[in-house]
Amino acid sequence: MFGLGFQEILLILVILFLLFGVKKLPEIGKGLGETMKEIRKIRDERKGGKGKEKEDQKGNVISDLKKEVENIPGLKEAREIKKTADKFKNITRLFK
């Protein structure tokens, strides 16, 4: 899974528990699930009308999609988790 071993994943999960607490993690997971659902829904809507759109409207579609994605709940928390995990991964590489 993404080049991470069992020990790295376990360590990341422990850090996440310490940073966000046990009660906050299900909320973050729910937000991530809703985010993925919305992204798929938006992507499917855009694919359905892709042949009808002009080339100059393509930039507008992308900017609209970015705006919609920024408003999805849990996205900021997910980015913070990813940054923390990346930092931790870089630190663990130093000790290998």
> From CA 74, how far away is CA 79, in angstroms rounded?
9
- For residue 46, count other CB atoms closer than 10 A to its CB: 15
Q: What is the pLDDT of residues 26-77, one digit of tens each?
A: 888 888 788 888 888 888 888 876 555 554 455 677 777 777 777 777 777 8
pTM above 0.85, yes or no: no
DSSP output for 47-63: HHTTTTS-GGGHHHHHH
pLDDT at 1: 45
pLDDT score of 15 more than 50: yes
- Banded pLDDT at 84 (limits 50, 70, 90): confident
Contact 80, 33 (CB under 8 A): no
- Banded pLDDT at 7 (limits 50, 70, 90): confident
Residue 66 contacts by C-beta under 8 Å, 6 or more apart in sequence?
none
pLDDT at 6: 84
pLDDT at 51: 52
